[in-house]
Structure 1
Amino acid sequence: MAVGILVVGIVVAGRLAFYYRDSYHHALDKQREFAQLAETRLDTINNMQRQQREVADLDSKYTRELTNARLENDRLRDDVAAGRRQLRIKGTCKLSETTASSSMGNGSTIEVSRETGSTVFDIRSGIISDQQKLRFLQEYVKKQCH
């Protein structure tokens, strides 16, 4: 009977050893899996932070360029309004052959009023703003949506 108890004890001890060994290996596998997942998440976070920095740099660059262009446009508008500069528009006209010879030649300039000059600079400001926004978006797409 002592031998039977000993055999049962050895079998139980063996089963417990295999159980704990399997549990240990299962825990190691889970630990590796979680470590890999944590590394993947960290890489994702780092990539997102890098992209956010790049977008912030792009925004800063194009905002600065837009501000400078607007300041230059405002300076030109103020100069025209104050009479320090004149806004001239160069134009060419196709003339019919029956036109009298006293007409303006091609490539002449026309001076516009101060009010018209201000309107031209308002339109120019809008064009500058739109162009800067397009440049920003094009570079954003090129760098972030590859």
Structure 2
Amino acid sequence: WKVGLAALSGWIIIILSITTWHYRDNYRHALSKQQEVEKLAESRLDTINAIQRQQKEVAALDAKYTQELTDARLENDRLRADVAAGRRQLRIKGTCSVSKTATGASMGNGSAIEVSREAGSTVLDIRSGMISDQRKLQFLQA
């Protein structure tokens, strides 16, 4: 009976060792998976933070360029109203090259050319479009 008890004790030790090894292996595997999941969660959080930071930067740029565009439009509207009311006149500096062989009376180079109110309004419309396009390009290139 002593031999049977020794054999039974040996089997119990072997079974307990195998069971311990099995649970220890499962624990290590679960710990490894948990670390992988934590790294993935941290990586995703970093990505989300980077995207939010970029969104804030884009929103700030948008606000800046929108304000600049609004200011330019208001200035252009003010100029257009002044031209229409006669408080301002649109003058374009012009030069004429004259042939050296030409004779007769002439004006000096660099004289101011006055345009009608309608033409002035058209020029200011063109100016407004150019300013708008420039601001949009600046925003897109930023």
* Correspondence for 1:66: 69
Secondary structure at 1:27 match in 2: helix
* Identity of matched residues, %: 65
Name the amino acid aligned to 1:94: S
**In structure 2, what residue type is equivalent to 1:14?**
S
2:53 matched residue in structure 1: 50
Q: Give TM-score, length-normalised by structure 1.
A: 0.92
Matching residue of 1:94: 97
CA distance in 2, matches of 1:10, 1:88: 106
2:24 paired with 1:16: no
Provide TM-score, normalisation by structure 2: 0.94
**Moved >4 Å (runs of 4+):** none
**Unaligned 5+ residue runs, structure 1?**
140-146
Letter in 2 for 1:135: Q
Residue in structure 2 matched with residue 82 of structure 1 by the alignment: 85
> Deviation per CA, 1:41-91, whole angstroms, max 9, x where unpaired?
000000000000000000000000000000000100111011110000001
SS of 1:9's partner is helix
CA distance in 2, matches of 1:54, 1:101: 64
Which residue of structure 1 lines up, in the alignment, with residue 31 of structure 2?
28
Structure 2: tracts of 5 or more residues without a match: none
User: What whole-Å deviation, never above 9, does each CA across 1:4-27 have from its counterpart, x for those lacking one?
Assistant: 222111111100101111111111
Deviation string 1:30-49 (CA, Å, 9 cap, x unpaired) is: 11111111110000000000
Answer with 1 or 2: which has the greater Rg: 2
